[in-house]
């Protein structure tokens, strides 16, 4: 592992410990009250979900057209993180919606396209695990569809009638809400970077193990 | 001719019965049904904080549930990656040692 990993992991742990205090100090939203504070974890995890789908897609395209195993390992790691952060987004969202909208789930375009993106990430991992020989390229093709879904998820709230808040909400937040949100966002971004590096390292070790088994057979 | 007339009479009899049934259903459906009393109308906006307690959904369990899920998911994933990494690294070290032993021999 690189030298920067452990110090950054320590910084990230401290930031995550401080985040609830910063979030608690932010003002209450006028109509939703306490439950709106789910937003400070929901929005950053949703951003990491979309970021991992984009990284998975770009790395998969580079693997498909360039054949680099390094890119394949990166895509595999990013797909797993897309499943993790997608799960967080799809669980925290309904918990917030139950109070704010009165329902756990609505087949609204933002929610449905997010669910589709999450299922594509799952499909990627399942194909990799059970697809047999050649499944890496098949999964890479799937990842391109997962990436193509990302702009659709992002702009959907601005183009279709939906109950989900629009993307214009974030830039118009009051100062203390904005501080709490961006602090939380940096926490999640740093965590995402660390987890991605750790997960790529696992793939590198697996590749090394395969190489060792091959050299033993020869 | 006589047979045809009897058949026509029988058909018109059946038609008449059916018509009577349909009209009967229609008339009974049009009769005013006793309506349940409508809920008392509110003529002004009621803030969620001023709703009666039975209509309020507590926010704290939802908020705690969301934050707990995030922490458990992240911690669980970190543990899972750590466990997989330890397993692979142990195997790599074992094979490295085995190859080194074989080269020396």
| Closest Cβ opposite residue A91 in set B69, B91, B92 | B69
Report the C-alpha gap between B38 and A157 in whole angstroms. 36
Contacts of A45 (CB under 8 A, 6+ apart): A85, A88, A89, A92, A188, B70
Assigned fold of A5-12+19-217: 1.20.120
Q: Tell me the two tokens of residue A80.
A: 């797993």
**Does B67 contact chain A (CB < 8 Å)?**
yes
**Residue A212 to residue B95, Cβ atoms within 8 A:** yes
State the smallest CA–CA distance between residue A9 and chain B in angstroms.
Answer: 12
**B78 chain-A contacts, CB cut-off 8 A:** 195
Q: Which residue of B has its CA nearest to A104?
A: B62
**Residue A198 to residue B92, Cβ atoms within 8 A:** no
Q: Which residue of A has its CA nearest to B68?
A: A92
pTM of the model: 0.81
Average pLDDT value for chain A: 93
- Complex ipTM: 0.92
pLDDT in tens, chain B (105 residues): 445 555 556 666 666 666 666 666 555 555 656 666 655 666 666 666 666 666 677 888 999 999 999 999 999 999 999 999 999 999 999 998 988 887 765
Is residue A45 within 8 Å of A89, Cβ to Cβ? yes
State the smallest CA–CA distance between residue B18 and chain A in angstroms.
Answer: 45
Backbone phi and psi for residue A33, each to the nearest 5 degrees, phi listed first: 70, -140
Q: Which residue of A has its CA nearest to B95?
A: A212
pLDDT digits (tens, 9 = 90+) for A133-171: 989 999 999 999 999 999 999 999 988 888 898 888 888
Q: What per-residue confidence (pLDDT) applies to B1?
A: 44
State the smallest CA–CA distance between residue A93 and chain B in angstroms.
Answer: 9
**Residue B62 to residue A37, Cβ atoms within 8 A:** no
User: Of A152, A163, A78, nearest to A116 (Cα)?
Assistant: A152
**Residue A35 to residue B59, Cβ atoms within 8 A:** yes
User: Of A151, A123, A129, nearest to A54 (Cα)?
Assistant: A151
**Does A71 contact chain B (CB < 8 Å)?**
no
Q: What per-residue confidence (pLDDT) applies to A125?
A: 97
Give me the residue spans of the domains in chain A.
5-12+19-217
Q: Where are the alpha helices (H) located in chain A, listed in sequence order? A: 5-25, 39-66, 69-100, 109-130, 135-159, 175-217
Q: DSSP characters for A77-141?
A: HHHHHHHHHHHHHHHHHHHHHHHHTSSS----HHHHHHHHHHHHHHHHHHHHHHS-TTHHHHHHH
Which of B58, B62, B79 best probes binding to A when mutated, by most A CB atoms within 10 angstroms? B62
State the smallest CA–CA distance between residue B39 and chain A in angstroms.
Answer: 20
Q: Which residue of B has its CA nearest to A188?
A: B74
Report the C-alpha gap between A53 and A127 in whole angstroms. 16
């Amino acid at each position: 592992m690189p030298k920067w990993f452990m110090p950054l992991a320590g910084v990230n742990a401290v930031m995550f410990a401080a985040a609830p205090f910063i979030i608690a100090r932010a003002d209450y939203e006028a109509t939703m009250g306490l439950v709106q504070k789910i937003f400070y974890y929901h929005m950053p995890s949703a951003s990491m979900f979309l970021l991992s789908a984009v990284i998975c897609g770009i790395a998969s395209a580079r693997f498909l057209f360039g054949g680099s195993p390094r890119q394949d390992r990166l895509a595999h790691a990013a797909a797993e993180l897309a499943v993790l952060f997608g799960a967080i987004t799809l669980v925290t969202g309904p918990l917030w919606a139950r109070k704010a909208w009165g329902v756990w789930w609505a087949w609204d375009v933002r929610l449905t396209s997010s669910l589709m993106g999450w299922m594509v990430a799952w499909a990627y991992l399942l194909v990799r695990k059970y697809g047999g020989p050649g499944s890496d390229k098949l999964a890479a093709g799937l990842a391109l569809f997962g990436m193509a879904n990302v702009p659709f998820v992002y702009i959907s709230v601005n183009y279709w009638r939906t109950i989900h808040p629009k993307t214009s909400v974030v830039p118009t937040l009051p100062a203390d809400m904005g501080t709490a949100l961006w602090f939380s966002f940096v926490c999640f971004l740093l965590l995402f970077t660390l987890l991605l590096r750790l997960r790529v390292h696992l793939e590198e070790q697996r590749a090394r193990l395969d190489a060792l088994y091959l050299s033993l057979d020869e | 001719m006589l047979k045809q007339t009897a058949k026509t009479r029988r058909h018109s009899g059946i038609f008449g019965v059916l018509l009577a049934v349909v009209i009967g259903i229609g008339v009974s459906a049009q009769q005013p049904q006793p309506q349940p009393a409508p809920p008392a109308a509110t003529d002004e906006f009621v803030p969620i904080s001023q709703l009666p307690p039975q209509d309020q959904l507590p926010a704290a369990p939802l908020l705690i549930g969301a934050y707990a899920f995030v922490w458990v998911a992240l911690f669980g994933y970190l543990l899972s990656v750590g466990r997989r990494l330890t397993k692979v690294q142990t195997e790599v070290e074992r094979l490295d040692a085995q190859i080194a032993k074989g080269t020396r021999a």
